[in-house]
């Protein structure tokens, strides 16, 4: 799929989802309630959706261009990987 085809497919799906009150985030592809999503509309069409989780962890810049709207997102901080060590249990010897 080309990015343009993907965008069209996403817009159709998002439009249908929005009517049911849910939206798929463009970044993490998770579905969430409409009220927890930042949406961008253009000419009556939903063109972009971003969930609050992604919006909180990214710096998102929308800039209108001739072809549409360009969205740039940059992670605010490096990904934090949390590892958990399994406690070793030593029985009495
Ligand atoms: Zn998201």
What pLDDT shows up at residue 93?
64
Q: Which residue has the higher pLDDT, 93 or 69?
A: 69
Over range 2-6, report the average pLDDT: 86
Over range 38-67, report the average pLDDT: 86
What pLDDT shows up at residue 79?
60
Over range 23-50, report the average pLDDT: 89
> Rounded to the nearest whole angstrom, what is the distance from the C-alpha of residue 82 to the centroid of ligand 1?
20
What pLDDT shows up at residue 66?
82
> Rounded to the nearest whole angstrom, what is the distance from the C-alpha of residue 34 to the centroid of ligand 1?
12
Residue with tokens 């798929």: 24
Q: How far, CA to CA in Å, does 80 sit from each of 6, 29, 75, 76, 77?
A: 30, 20, 11, 11, 8
Per-residue three-class SS string for 35-74: HHEEEEEECCEEEEEEEHHHHHHEEEEEEECCCCEEEEEE
> Rounded to the nearest whole angstrom, what is the distance from the C-alpha of residue 57 to the centroid of ligand 1?
9
> Rounded to the nearest whole angstrom, what is the distance from the C-alpha of residue 74 to the centroid of ligand 1?
13
CA atoms in the 13 A half-sphere facing the CB of 43: 5
What pLDDT shows up at residue 88?
65
DSSP state of 33: E
């Amino acid at each position: 799929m080309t990015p343009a085809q993907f965008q069209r497919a996403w817009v159709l799906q998002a439009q249908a989802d929005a009517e049911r009150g849910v939206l798929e985030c463009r970044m993490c592809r998770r579905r969430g309630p409409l009220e927890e999503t930042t949406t961008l509309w253009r000419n009556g069409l939903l063109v972009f959706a971003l969930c609050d989780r992604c919006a909180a962890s990214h710096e998102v810049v929308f800039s209108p261009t001739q072809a549409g709207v360009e969205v740039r997102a940059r992670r605010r901080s490096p990904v934090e990987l949390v590892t958990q060590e399994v406690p070793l249990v030593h029985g009495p010897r």
